[in-house]
Structure 1
Amino acid sequence: MPSVQANIEYLQKLSLYDKEKPYWCFLPPSESFDPDAQRVDNLEFEDYPDIQIEDIRELNEPPKIDDSGFEVLSHQSKFSKFDRADDVFQYVSETEELLRERMDAVYVKCYDSRLRKNAMFQRTQLDLNDPLLTEGPARGAHNDITYSSGPVVINRYLPEDIQKKFLKPGYRIRIVNTWRTLNPVLEDRPLALCDSRSVDPDDLVAADRIIPAHVGEVYYLTYNPKHRWLWLEKQTPVEPFAFVMYDTKAGSHARFCPHVSFINPLASDGAAPRESIETRSIVITKK
């Protein structure tokens, strides 16, 4: 199928953000706190309908992570569902090996994973450390790491001996996400990725992401008609995305990749709700 016209959710360009940094608190419910009833952010998004999203399958040349910021991998996972925490841990190890081989890495550390399903969740308790915790699709076009939070993440998750070995000239450190559908054929809420070459620095707005353990920082994307969006129609589990969130190597190559899910106008009636798993990894290669 050709490109689709669909809605992309962007962060609004509010004067509020000139004096107050955007933020979002991801906090578990408690006796005195209900995140469904109390405001936990100052994020205001706006819908841009009729954004053209190109089908990667129709490109003459497949996108590459160093150029566009993302690419489609070919990989068969041992896991199609996750019933036990150990399934997630094994998937993390599998992902580390995949990135080690694909990127010719000398070291890979997957420090986070996330299960998602396009569904409404009614919960009275929430364990943020549960590897089987399932969330809904993330809101707003975003990049999970900023130029400020990248070094913080690297220092937080790399063991001291690894830092001494690789945090020096001659090595390149990237934070790379993978994203894999768990649906046999994905129709509902697929992922759209923005070619990093079409993004101006001023389009990215830093926002705090607050959880009980620490404060992180992400970029939200504001609208620019230059943005080039792409997706993979009828994506299958053997076609995971890999996309870069941060890169210590300076230059004109891709160093980030904004992304967001969208409502697919081509989805068939009764299409199964999207289920997916994503990972975040520190990938070290020789320069």
Structure 2
Amino acid sequence: MVLEVYLDPCTINCRKVLAGLDLTGTDHEVKMVDYFKGEQKSDWYTKINPFATVPAAVDGDMVLTESNAILQYGADVGSSKSAYPADLKQRANVNRWLLWETSSWFPSCYVYLVEYVVKPLLNAQPDEQVIKKEAPNWNKLAAILDEQLGKTKWIAGDNVTIADIAIASPMHLHEASRFPLDKYPNLKRWMTQGIEQLPAWQKTQGAVEKALLPGTASNANGCTANGVHKGEVRATFNYTKDVHPKLTELYFYDTEAAKDIHEPGDSPHEVTVHDGWSKVKDFTIDKNGFSVQDFKTSFEQWEDEDACKNKFYPEVVEFLKRELGAVRVLVFDHTIRTQKNVNKKLTQETNTSQRAPVMLVHCDYTAESGPVRVRQLLPDDADDLLSRRVAFINVWKPVRNVVEERPLAMCDVTSSSSEDFFKLYLRYRDRNGENYVMKHSDNHKWWYFPKISPEQVILLKTFDNATDGRARFVGHSAFEDPTTREGAPTRESVEIRTICFF
């Protein structure tokens, strides 16, 4: 007997059936139904399945139209019996998880898939309020699975069953769907070290990514057609040549002195940028120079500088005290990057709180300019404050939409050395300043967080006076993401610059 299955492997329930039939050793023949072309609604297909859904399975004169029913039947006629045990109590346990997946788990996971995967495919924006509404239910269900998987290796015991395939399928694009798996270590272990290592699962991955994650479909070695591994992109970053003893400078006003200077960004290099979401909880500002944290606010008056200072700054102060343990926090500056600022020059002289994203590998302060800034802002307290630990922390936050265009990337401090940094002298009419720029090294490892939402922030450490081995300066830059979809909204973000005193 060869079971005919009508499906498109990119959908949750079709992938479930395809992987499940492989797991159970069921002979089957795939009849492709192009879901995105609407073939499930065609006359020829509705004669097979009047419900106009996929998948469907045909064995002689019998037609099955529910994915879990197809799994159960396929397991009964397949060669591998451990995936659907004959013992009635064990089978009942598998069946109850199959029913739970259909009634509870699938509907909750589907909300995330629609918002974070399907909508971007249709050039639509995710609705964070929809996610916010569903999140408590999803977390409750994930906690149930996490507890179960703390007791058993697989969902229904020591052996993988069709219940595992069924429950894994709604979360098959767990990174793109932004499920917070780090909160559920047993669930994450089961998915990444168990399910995703099954040959039956791996065989179906390419078709899913090709349809739902354009540009990332992988081959058997986990690489895209361009040779880039999953979770990576290749992009050009503007490093700077060190032409010592000549200085590297930028003038923020017109002057004859600006002629024939060495400006930064003259050493572009193509580098690999890694998607950091799978390791997001591992990054810390003291080790890597950056971290990602949840930060929810009702503030929306981003173009109103006074409102930002009076209403949003205090939220940032309390947030950093709580997250970093600072005893005092000074917010001294902020920059808004929105659509209307997209064409502004880096060296604009006026309205410097509104700029375009900086496409230059840099760090905002140097070992010398950090203490100078403290003395400028807090002259009466500077000696006392600088006798203890001081760190400059930028709080980078999307506003209004998830970031799809020109995202921010960070050079992991564990991959850089102090020799990679050198000074960029900033010339203003009334003062001079210093940043660090970076020369390229093959050792550098870059990270970014695609489609980071307005309810999250990236913390960047741009100066730390501690010399005990912790991160002191993190190189960072915006970059052109080659996977940005056509028509994606211009990046809108705010950077709040702070000094934390410990």
Deviation at 1:167, TM superposition (A): 3.5
Give the 3 Å change call, closer, same or farther, for CA 117–83 of structure 1 in structure 2.
Answer: closer
Instruction: Point out where structure 1 has 5 or more consecutive residues left out of the alignment.
Output: 28-32
- Matching of residue 18 in structure 1 with residue 244 in structure 2: yes
Q: Which has the higher contact order (CA 8 A, sep 6+)?
A: 1
Distance in 1, Cα, partners of 2:400 & 2:267: 29
Distance in 1, Cα, partners of 2:272 & 2:383: 46
What SS is found at the alignment partner of 2:244? helix
Do the aligned residues in 1 keep the contact of 2:301 with 2:308 (CA within 8 Å)? no
- Matching of residue 65 in structure 1 with residue 285 in structure 2: yes
Deviation at 1:41, TM superposition (A): 5.5
Corresponding residue to 1:80 among 281, 285, 300 = 300
Letter in 2 for 1:215: N
Corresponding residue to 1:163 among 375, 379, 382 = 382
- Matching of residue 232 in structure 1 with residue 449 in structure 2: yes
Do the aligned residues in 1 keep the contact of 2:401 with 2:492 (CA within 8 Å)? no
Distance in 2, Cα, partners of 1:84 & 1:40: 39
- Matching of residue 210 in structure 1 with residue 431 in structure 2: no
Corresponding residue to 2:343 among 107, 111, 120 = 120
What SS is found at the alignment partner of 2:419? helix
- Matching of residue 107 in structure 1 with residue 328 in structure 2: yes
Task: With the length of structure 1 as denominator, give the TM-score of the two structures.
Answer: 0.85
Identity of aligned residues (%): 25
Distance in 1, Cα, partners of 2:403 & 2:301: 15
Corresponding residue to 1:46 among 267, 283, 294 = 267
Deviation at 1:205, TM superposition (A): 1.2
Letter in 2 for 1:139: M
Deviation at 1:79, TM superposition (A): 2.4
- Matching of residue 9 in structure 1 with residue 9 in structure 2: no
- Matching of residue 141 in structure 1 with residue 361 in structure 2: yes
Letter in 2 for 1:173: V
Higher mean alpha-carbon deviation, 181-190 vs 59-68, is at 59-68
Do the aligned residues in 1 keep the contact of 2:391 with 2:463 (CA within 8 Å)? yes
Task: With the length of structure 2 as denominator, give the TM-score of the two structures.
Answer: 0.50
Aligned twin of 1:93: 314
Distance in 2, Cα, partners of 1:80 & 1:72: 21
Deviation string 1:136-177 (CA, Å, 9 cap, x unpaired) is 1223100100011111011111251x3355333xx3111111
User: Which structure: larger Rg?
Assistant: 2
Letter in 2 for 1:142: H
Do the aligned residues in 2 keep the contact of 1:55 with 1:230 (CA within 8 Å)? yes
What SS is found at the alignment partner of 1:87? helix
Distance in 2, Cα, partners of 1:189 & 1:41: 28
Letter in 2 for 1:127: T
Deviation at 1:96, TM superposition (A): 1.7
What SS is found at the alignment partner of 1:19? coil
Distance in 1, Cα, partners of 2:385 & 2:344: 42
Give the 3 Å change call, closer, same or farther, for CA 82–61 of structure 1 in structure 2.
Answer: closer
Do the aligned residues in 1 keep the contact of 2:237 with 2:359 (CA within 8 Å)? no
Distance in 1, Cα, partners of 2:449 & 2:301: 21
Structure with bigger helix share is 2
What SS is found at the alignment partner of 2:473? coil
Aligned residues: 266
Do the aligned residues in 2 keep the contact of 1:25 with 1:40 (CA within 8 Å)? no
Letter in 2 for 1:156: Q
What SS is found at the alignment partner of 2:282? coil
Deviation string 1:20-44 (CA, Å, 9 cap, x unpaired) is 21111123xxxxx599xx8696214
Do the aligned residues in 2 keep the contact of 1:81 with 1:182 (CA within 8 Å)? no
Instruction: Point out where structure 2 has 5 or more consecutive residues left out of the alignment.
Output: 1-175, 177-230
Distance in 2, Cα, partners of 1:205 & 1:165: 28
Deviation string 1:75-100 (CA, Å, 9 cap, x unpaired) is 11232342322222122222222112
Give the 3 Å change call, closer, same or farther, for CA 188–216 of structure 1 in structure 2.
Answer: same
